[in-house]
A and B are shown apart, each in its own frame.
Chain A
């Protein structure tokens, strides 16, 4: 990868990686640090990474950095203790986007990250598996569980409306 290709990758992918990381860990400063770290690793390894592989390289690096960070903070990656909103709860949301955003925030990190890779970046199960070191069926299960939870969450709020 040439220098100009590296700089081009900044223009092309830094916003996307940033959105993925920010949405996953919900901390602006940490997200910025992780994006910078990912690009720093890419720069150090620029000779071994072809331009076609830059995007998955960045997402893989960012993903694993996040996983390490979450483990350090002793958060549960796989917590299934999902709390749905009370059915009788007052609806304070202006639109579906807000409801969905809150629902996504309540997902366990691993499910959220896998779902973001799927929806934001359109990666296949197989590609997500390669990025995250999970097998394809695990990816499938996480996406399935995440969607079911989101559907129930939206459904509960809409019932009130």
Chain B
């Protein structure tokens, strides 16, 4: 394109920047000669040259970036530090970075909060389904289960027996009352006839007081039939003595009732002894065999806690898992639960409190 007054500006810029093609230089010079006003305009351009000033940006520090300014690098280092997976050199650098950027401490704090803590209140409640036992142990288990059930039954019986117990005691007192006076009466009855026989002998001799003797002989068999009839029918000194004996009887009988309670636990202990007798038999046979049996059956580890567990397991299986118990990590029973459609309850045991 040839230079003219419409496009000369582009030619001028090319000329000033040294980009004007050599083939066009002649045309350019010719054009300037023909248009002196534009030649003068070109000379004005030549004087304009912007020279850069010596200026510096004073806040470059804020613009510099470090490795940990990159979010990913920082997060990676924070997680590695939390996991104990950071190298000592990186850790020093990271600490230095944090000291310079205290605002980043908050982010580190957030990472530290992501460390999960197990909720120890969550426990597996069906441990009793997981336990397994050897054959010998199973026999022992069932023995201990039966023992445990017996203990529970005796305990329940004891509790139930206490409330209506007073009535029972009264009945027992009545029975004993009847027995003891009877013996005494029998003795006295025997004595009385002796006396009467003695009396009869002289009576026979005298012959005159036969009628009163016969009258005395008639009531003699009566006391043997019934005490009440005797007491009602007679008012003699012998009868009064009998009445006094009856009043003393209840005090003694209360002690008899107390001794019955003592005998009940002995019944349960007798069942426990069966398990030990088996062990003793093996001891007599051969000591080494006894050790083997002891290890395999776990008799040596028999404890109250295991008996409890055995009893509870049996109750649990009988109740279709409505009745459950929970144990802690040491195997101690911490809670007993019952859950049915009508009723649900949970009883923490003493072990839990002691453990915590």
A interface vs B, CB < 8 Å?
3-4, 6-8, 10-12, 14-19, 22, 32, 35-36, 39, 43, 96, 100, 104, 115-116, 118-120, 125, 140, 143-144, 146-148, 150-151, 154-155, 158
Q: CB distance A100 to B113 under 8 Å?
A: yes
Contact A11 B127 (CB under 8 A): yes
Question: Is A3 touching B329 in the complex (CB atoms < 8 A)?
Answer: no
Q: Which of B128-136, B148-156, B310-318 contacts A (4 or more CB under 8 A)?
A: B128-136
Write out the residue numbers on chain B whose beta carbons fall within 8 Å of the beta carbon of A150. Answer: 113-114
Whether A120 touches B122, Cβ cut-off 8 Å, given contacts A7-B131, A143-B79, is no
| Mask: chain B, 158-185; 1 = CB below 8 Å from A; 0 = not | 0000000000000000000000000000
Known contacts A7-B132, A154-B110; A15 and B115 CB within 8 A of each other: no
Answer whether residue B266 sits at the interface, using C-beta atoms and an 8 A cutoff: no
Of residues 101 through 128 on chain B, the ones whose CB sits less than 8 Å from some CB of chain A are 107, 110-111, 113-120, 122-124, 126-127
Q: What residues of B have a CB within 8 angstroms of the CB of A120 in the complex? A: 116, 118
In angstroms, how far is the closest chain B Cβ from the Cβ of A137?
12
A14-B115 in contact given A43-B132, A155-B110 (Cβ < 8 Å): no
A3→B132 contact, CB < 8 A: yes
Residues on A with beta carbons closer than 8 Å to the beta carbon of B79: 143-144, 147-148
Collect the chain A residues with CB atoms within 8 Å of residue B124's CB: 14-15, 17-18, 32, 35
Contact of B130 among A10, A22, A155 (CB under 8 A): A10
Which residue from chain A places its CB closest to the CB of B119 in the assembled complex?
Answer: A19
Task: Give chain A nearest CB distance to B273 CB in angstroms.
Answer: 24
Known contacts A4-B301, A151-B110: A10-B127 contact under CB 8 Å: yes
Interface residues on B, range: 35 or more
Q: What distance in Å separates the Cβ of A150 from its nearest Cβ neighbour in chain B? A: 4
Enumerate chain A residues within 8 angstroms of B157, measured Cβ to Cβ. Answer: none
CB pair B82–A39 under 8 Å, yes or no, is: no
Tally of A-B Cβ pairs under 8 angstroms? 91
Q: Are A104 and B116 in contact (CB under 8 A)?
A: yes
Instruction: Pick the residue among A7, A12, A18 that contacts B122 (CB under 8 A).
Output: A18
| Chain B interface main SS type | loop
CA of A120 to CA of B119 in the docked complex: distance in angstroms? 9
Cross-chain contact A147 with B123 (CB below 8 angstroms): no
7 shortest A-B CB distances, which residue pairs?
Answer: A18-B124, A119-B116, A150-B114, A11-B331, A14-B124, A10-B130, A151-B110
- Given contacts A3-B133, A6-B132, 12 further A-B pairs with CB under 8 A are A7-B133, A15-B123, A15-B329, A18-B124, A35-B124, A36-B129, A100-B113, A100-B114, A120-B116, A120-B118, A147-B82, A147-B111
Asked if B327 is at the interface of the complex by the 8 Å CB criterion, the answer is yes
For the complex, what is the distance from the CA of A151 to the CA of B108, rounded to whole Å?
9
Residue A15 contacts which of B117, B122, B137 (CB distance < 8 angstroms)? B122
15 contacts across the A-B interface (CB closer than 8 A): A3-B137, A4-B298, A10-B131, A11-B330, A15-B123, A19-B118, A22-B122, A32-B126, A39-B130, A96-B113, A119-B116, A120-B118, A144-B75, A147-B82, A155-B110
Asked whether B107 lies within 8 Å of A119 as measured between CB atoms, the reply is no
Q: Does B22 contact A (CB under 8 A)?
A: no
A151 touches B111 (CB 8 A): yes
How distant is the Cα of A155 from the Cα of B112 in the complex, in angstroms?
12
B278 CB–A CB distance under 8 Å: no
Is there contact, CB below 8 Å, between A11 and B327? yes
Q: Does B76 contact A (CB under 8 A)?
A: yes
Chain B residue contacts of A154, Cβ below 8 A:
110, 113-114
Q: State in angstroms the CA–CA spacing of A154 and B85 once bound together.
A: 23
- Of A16, A39, A151, the contact of B107 (CB 8 Å cutoff): A151
A96 vs B110: C-alpha distance when bound (angstroms):
11
| Residue numbers in B under 8 Å from A17 (CB-CB) | 124
B40 at the interface (CB under 8 A from A): no
B-chain residues with CB within 8 Å of residue A14 when the two chains form the complex: 124, 127, 130
A143: B residues at CB distance < 8 A: 79, 83
Q: Which residues of chain B are within 8 angstroms of A144 by Cβ–Cβ distance?
A: 75-76, 79
Q: Which residue of chain B lies nearest to A33 when distances are taken between CB atoms in the complex?
A: B126
Q: For B136, give the chain A residue with the smallest CB separation.
A: A3
Name the residue of chain B whose CB is nearest to the CB of A119. Answer: B116
Would you call A36 and B113 a contact (CB within 8 A)? no
Question: Which of chain A's residues have a CB closer than 8 A to the CB of B132?
Answer: 3, 6-7, 43
Residues of B within 8 A of A19 (CB): 118-119, 122
Tell me which residues from 278 to 323 in chain B have a Cβ below 8 Å from any Cβ of chain A.
296, 298, 301
